[in-house]
Amino acid sequence: MKKVVIALGGNALQKSKDQATAQAQQRACEQTAEQLLRIIKAGFNVVVTHGNGPQVGNIVLQQEAAATDRTPAMPLDTCGAMSQGMIGYWLQQAIDKSLADAGIPKRAATVITQTVVDPGDPAFRHPTKPIGPFYTEEEARRIMREKGYLFKEDAGRGWRRVVPSPRPVDIVEKDVIRELVENGHIVVCAGGGGIPVIRREDGSFEGVEAVIDKDLGAAKLAELVDADILLILTAVEKVAIHFRQPNQSELEEVTTDQLRRYMQEGHFAPGSMLPKVEATLQFADSRPGRTAVITSLEKGFDALLGKAGTRISARGSGVRKEMPLTS
């Protein structure tokens, strides 16, 4: 059976900014589980990863709002762990219910996942990843003085805290995840790209104040658990060049060489489609025969059958049109 890592976008967990209650997000997870069930029923071995941007941002704000000397706010890496546990709980409940309703004797399990980063990564010297809400310049400068955070102005919309976004190097729990999925379990892991940690000289790990790009984290996870397919689910069915221009063109089958050329020509927006493209290039080039797919949540199953989405493969090992990626 083919092994697929499925990277869920934000719409799989929260449909809109005003639907941040636990109940609303649980309903979104139930709808997502219905789509995942189709893939599981088709016989794929499934690993699920997810974003956590809105959730971890809310946790940080809640921690800071309630902070006192007796109950101090937790650091960013610990807030990331909280978000992994919370979202994993919602997803595994939703997946387990879908499996039980379908009469499938499988269970989902969440693995709190640490992602190793290089302490010498240049990203630590140049924080770029915005987290949390927007502030006025006056508010941002006050928080910088009081807490030592770094803020930057964000495209005229206000000031936001920025943190480093180093590239993922390794995943601490990779062997556990691989063993679980190879024994038929559905694994939810590496949420938000994983909790960023650095390796100490004694071999232990220490969390750092950073955020890992969730798509690059999913690509590293897919490499390390020896997946055949990386399926990135987002808000659009296909990747497009000349996006929102009269000559917009959607991509169906594309090699990594072609996609890299489009990327260098500036077709993909940073913070939007660009990290997804970078992730698919990294995975598809990591081993012959690997395929990456970008599509919408609703088209995920069809995309695995070769009927939707944008499919990316390395030069010489491309997926032919109409050839399904069956299990």
pLDDT per residue of the chain (327 residues) written in tens, 0 to 9: 899 999 998 778 887 766 789 999 999 999 999 999 999 999 999 999 999 988 888 898 899 889 999 999 999 999 999 999 999 999 999 999 999 999 999 999 999 999 999 999 999 999 988 887 788 999 999 999 988 889 998 778 899 888 999 999 999 999 999 999 999 999 999 999 999 999 999 999 999 999 999 999 999 999 999 999 999 999 999 999 999 899 999 999 999 999 999 999 999 988 789 999 999 999 999 999 999 999 999 999 999 999 999 999 996 444 433 334 444
Q: Is residue 11 annotated as a catalytic residue, yes or no?
A: yes
Q: Residues 168, 218: contact at Cβ < 8 Å?
A: no
Provide the residue ranges of all domains of the chain, joining segments of one domain with +: 3-67+76-113+169-194+212-313
- In 3D, which of 135, 166, 167, 175 has the Cα closest to residue 153? 135
Of the residues 11, 53, 132, 318, only one is catalytic, namely 11
Beta strands (DSSP E) in the chain are 3-8, 45-50, 108-111, 114-117, 129-135, 151-153, 159-163, 168-171, 186-189, 195-199, 205-207, 229-234, 240-241, 249-250, 253-255, 291-296, 310-313
Q: Is residue 238 annotated as a catalytic residue, yes or no?
A: no
DSSP state of 23: H
Of the residues 3, 129, 220, 299, only one is catalytic, namely 129
Residue 147: predicted pLDDT? 86
- In 3D, which of 9, 216, 195 has the Cα closest to residue 111? 195
Which residues make beta-bridge pairs with 294?
Answer: 232, 310
Q: Residues 132, 62: contact at Cβ < 8 Å?
A: no
Q: Is residue 2 annotated as a catalytic residue, yes or no?
A: no
Of the residues 53, 276, 299, 318, only one is catalytic, namely 276
Q: Is residue 214 annotated as a catalytic residue, yes or no?
A: yes
- In 3D, which of 4, 24, 21, 3 has the Cα closest to residue 12? 24
The span from the CA of 93 to the CA of 169, in Å, is 30
Task: List the CATH code of the domain at 3-67+76-113+169-194+212-313.
Answer: 3.40.1160.10
Q: Is residue 307 annotated as a catalytic residue, yes or no?
A: no
Of the residues 174, 214, 220, 299, only one is catalytic, namely 214
